[in-house]
Structure 1
Amino acid sequence: MSLRGYLRIVRPVNALVAGIAVLLGVLVAGVAITPPLFLLVVAVFCITGAGNAVNDYCDREIDAINRPERPIPSGSVSIRGAAFYSTFLFLVGIMLAALVNPLCFGLACLNSILLVTYAAWLKRVPLAGNLVVSYLAGSIFLFGGAAAGINGVILNLPLAGIVFLPMIAREILKDAEDIEGDQEGGARTLPMVIGVLPSCRIAGVLAAGAVILSILPIVPWWSVWYLATIALADVIILFAAVSSIRCTTSACVRDSGATTTLKSGMFAALAILILWALSG
């Protein structure tokens, strides 16, 4: 067991990006960023990190095959330690959200329940697990909008959609990569049901849908300059979709690097959206 292992299990970069993305939702909702609102950043960091930890806890047998370098299979985090750690982070995140307003508290509770349910059960339900984790990614903006009440949530729905579509595409591709380990662990994913090739094609369509949504005039800063900058991320997302769209095996999907490329495209899109929100 090691401190580094406990840091790695929360996937700190992903959790931090999720926390910062909340501020984008706050800006879109038209709320000034004040020091108390940084509680939302910490709350989302904790809840996201807890979700990553509980996912590793539930997937420890699968990860022993697919990802032996991860904290639990490698022995840097104990099974019991991961369980206590994730519970602590969930509680901290929920309590911090409660300090902002009841709507943020409600979303924090809902998302925490979904994260645990996903890791323990829904991940093994074809497509349902993909939908849940993609909603959770998009809901980060809804969480930020909730700082301004229900109207803030409504204003953030387009941004949530822009994140939801590439996220579900990536989740499907990740499942296509991990068929062997998922079979050993008793999971039943979409690629296992319909095959790798159809799954990759569905992921490609979803990624293309995200690109189309990103260029529609649904964000408050829509302009020619916005289109020029978001195109940089859109090209990366489309490249990821195309690179795997003809794959028929898990090895092909892994070798294509599609999931990594798609993640890069999503981060690039997020960075561009944050810059535009700040400039507005």
Structure 2
Amino acid sequence: MTDLSNASARQWPEPAAMLTLIKPITWFPPMWAYLCGTVSSGVSPLSRPGLVALGVFLAGPVVCGMSQAANDWCDRHVDAINEPYRPIPSGRIPGRWGLYIALTMSLLALVIGWQLGPWGFGATVLGVLAAWAYSAEPVRLKKSGWWGPGLVGLSYETLPWFTGAAVLSAGAPSGHVVIVALLYGIGAHGIMTLNDFKALEGDRQMGVNSLPVTLGPEKAAWVASVVMAVPQVVVIGLLTLWDRPWHAAGVSAVLVVQFWAMSVMMRDPKGKAPWYNGVGVGLYVTGMMISAFAIRSLGGA
């Protein structure tokens, strides 16, 4: 347990707290989506390993890490209720250091994005703007249980997928890539809704109208499950239409297991939402990569 009396006297951030602030555990989805994009492009990722590695680093530690720092700074009052021992409310990152870290990482993201060419830089600009629009006043889309998770889903899945495909192919991705990336981004709205369960009490007190707050845990869990499942069903139909039956069967298999996990979650939505985020999300992203391999030969280059 952190000694709050000592933490409150700090002038400089605690190094370990700075790593906690940018939440490495959250980096995986955009990194994975960027890799899905490179696979779906039709260009071998091994042919341009530098662009792949730089893009993965940008999508995860830099842009996603920056978004987490920005969110924690803008959410410091909510976190003081929900999780007072997090880096900013605990004082381990004192004063306005949380803001300075988020702004510095925003600039770093733009510098790195510039190295990925016009498509990579444009996507980076959108990612940085989306991160601040989600967390910061006066926009603060996080206040909405519909717009907030939707923006994050598109930013974490669709945008890095599109970017990976565009950077590797040095041009606009094919329609197949755009459609599948968009569908998985829409489905990620449900994942973000389940993630809001952990902040239910603080969100209610601070006027953040997440779906668990406005609909209640049971209805919110149903909405999240439907929003996650429907885009995957559409992907399965499209892969079948595009003559990729084996890939469609693979996505179907992981969706069936997700249905089982959803049924477990429904017994106790508030208690089981974190469990589902560990189990169901892994299955969801498995389907993403199966789909990426399915469309790589459909004119992605």
Q: TM-score range by the shorter chain?
A: 0.7 to 0.9
**Stretch moving more, 20-29 or 200-209:** 20-29
**Stretch moving more, 93-102 or 108-117:** 93-102
Q: State the identity %.
A: 23
Other structure's SS at 1:216 match: helix
Structure 1 residues 124-152: Cα deviation after superposition (integer angstroms, max 9, x where no partner):
12311111111112211011122135531
Report what 2:151 is aligned to: 132
- Residue identity opposite 1:134 in structure 2: G
Point out the structure with max Rg over C-alpha: 2
Q: CA RMSD in A?
A: 3.0
Match of 1:62 among 70, 78, 84: 78
Q: 1:207 to 1:242 in 2, by over 3 A?
A: farther
**Stretch moving more, 234-243 or 58-67:** 234-243
Pairs aligned (count): 275
Mapped partners of 1:116, 1:197: distance in 2: 30
* TM-score normalised to structure 1 length: 0.83
Mapped partners of 1:260, 1:127: distance in 2: 22
Mapped partners of 2:188, 2:116: distance in 1: 27
- Is residue 195 of structure 2 the alignment partner of residue 195 of structure 1? no
Do 1:57 and 1:82's aligned partners in 2 also have CA atoms closer than 8 Å?
yes
Report what 2:192 is aligned to: 171
Mapped partners of 1:123, 1:159: distance in 2: 25
Mapped partners of 1:89, 1:99: distance in 2: 16
* TM-score normalised to structure 2 length: 0.78
Deviation, 1:2, is: 2.6
Match of 1:115 among 121, 131, 134: 131
Structure 1 residues 215-266: Cα deviation after superposition (integer angstroms, max 9, x where no partner):
2343989342x3454345324432343334466xxxx422453333333333
Report what 2:281 is aligned to: 263
Report what 2:166 is aligned to: 146
Report what 1:86 is aligned to: 102
Report what 1:254 is aligned to: 271
Match of 2:234 among 206, 213, 217: 213
Q: 1:2 to 1:243 in 2, by over 3 A?
A: same
* Unpaired runs of at least 5, structure 1: none
Deviation, 1:211, is: 3.2
Deviation, 1:77, is: 2.8
Do 2:236 and 2:249's aligned partners in 1 also have CA atoms closer than 8 Å?
no
Higher relative contact order (CA 8 A, sep 6+): 2
Report what 2:178 is aligned to: 157
- Residue identity opposite 2:217 in structure 1: V
**Stretch moving more, 110-119 or 146-155:** 146-155
**Stretch moving more, 265-274 or 115-124:** 265-274
- Residue identity opposite 1:263 in structure 2: V
Runs of 4+ in 1 over 4 A off after TM superposition: 270-280
- Residue identity opposite 2:82 in structure 1: N
- Residue identity opposite 1:202 in structure 2: V
Q: 1:177 to 1:254 in 2, by over 3 A?
A: farther
Report what 2:119 is aligned to: 103
